[in-house]
A = this chain, B = another copy of it.
Amino acid sequence: IRKGVPEVVYAGAKTPEQVAKICAALVEPGRRVIVSAASGEHEAALRAALPDTPVRRSGRALVAGSGEPEPTGARIGAICAGTSDIPVLEEAVAVAREMGAETRSFYDVGVAGLHRLEQPLQELRSFDPDCLIVAAGMEGALPTVVSALVDVPVIGLPTSAGYGLGGDGSAAILGMLQTCSPGLAVVNVDNGVGAGATAALIANRATRRARCGPS
């Protein structure tokens, strides 16, 4: 089956050389590969190995290859609270865009300052997204709060930004799993790829039905 999920190389447990070699084998004209959890060393090795291939960073992901994804009309909103969450959120955004979605990101939205939610929510309402990705570390409450204020599905993306007991992202993911706002589903800690792919499948399904007309 063709789901449109792009080829993803998880760099987390691989050396820069391994990543460069795998990408060299995968990249072909007009198609792109995503390298997730890519460090600066991964990026350098990739650029050195593929000097003629465009490489673009999006958070902790790299998008390597030429061309652009075909737009599907899908729309996804992306929200997080702190600077620490941005790299993971933008990894999700990179995957969603590769799957044809248009995205809009908001970064400074936190539960310890709820007034900062108003402006982004208003902008999101006029953007009219099919789905939201909400990333949060610490106590991971932001997706619950947002989910209660919107009428589209929310993908909770817990991040490992935290400290002390539960600070490896386990407090955040448990908080999202315990949500008191039905309509929120979750991916694993720092799993930007999963969040982006799920959100794009949701949004692409919506546009597919829209193209076919109501049934």
Check if A141 sits within 8 Å of B175, measured CB to CB: yes
A135 located at the interface, meaning its Cβ lies under 8 Å from any Cβ of chain B in the complex: no
Interface residue ranges of A62-108 to B (CB < 8 Å)? 73, 81-84, 95
CB < 8 Å: which of B4, B140, B207 contacts A209? B207
Check if B175 sits within 8 Å of A139, measured CB to CB: yes
Check if B165 sits within 8 Å of A201, measured CB to CB: no
Chain B's closest residue to A22 (CB) is: B83
Contact string against B for A residues 159-179, beta-carbon threshold 8 Å, 1 for contact and 0 otherwise: 011111111011111111111
Check if B174 sits within 8 Å of A165, measured CB to CB: yes
Check if A207 sits within 8 Å of B214, measured CB to CB: yes
A48 located at the interface, meaning its Cβ lies under 8 Å from any Cβ of chain B in the complex: no
Check if A12 sits within 8 Å of B163, measured CB to CB: yes
A22 to B83, CA, bound (A): 10
Chain B's closest residue to A214 (CB) is: B210
- Assuming the contacts A110-B180, A213-B213, A214-B210, asked whether A185 and B155 have C-beta atoms less than 8 A apart, the reply is yes
CB < 8 Å: which of B141, B158, B196, B201 contacts A153? B201
Contacts of A131 in B (CB 8 A): 202, 205
Contacts of A187 in B (CB 8 A): 177, 184-186
CB < 8 Å: which of B73, B152, B191 contacts A201? B152
A24 located at the interface, meaning its Cβ lies under 8 Å from any Cβ of chain B in the complex: no
A39 located at the interface, meaning its Cβ lies under 8 Å from any Cβ of chain B in the complex: no
Check if B190 sits within 8 Å of A163, measured CB to CB: yes
Interface residue ranges of A1-50 to B (CB < 8 Å)? 1-5, 8, 10, 12-14, 18, 22, 37
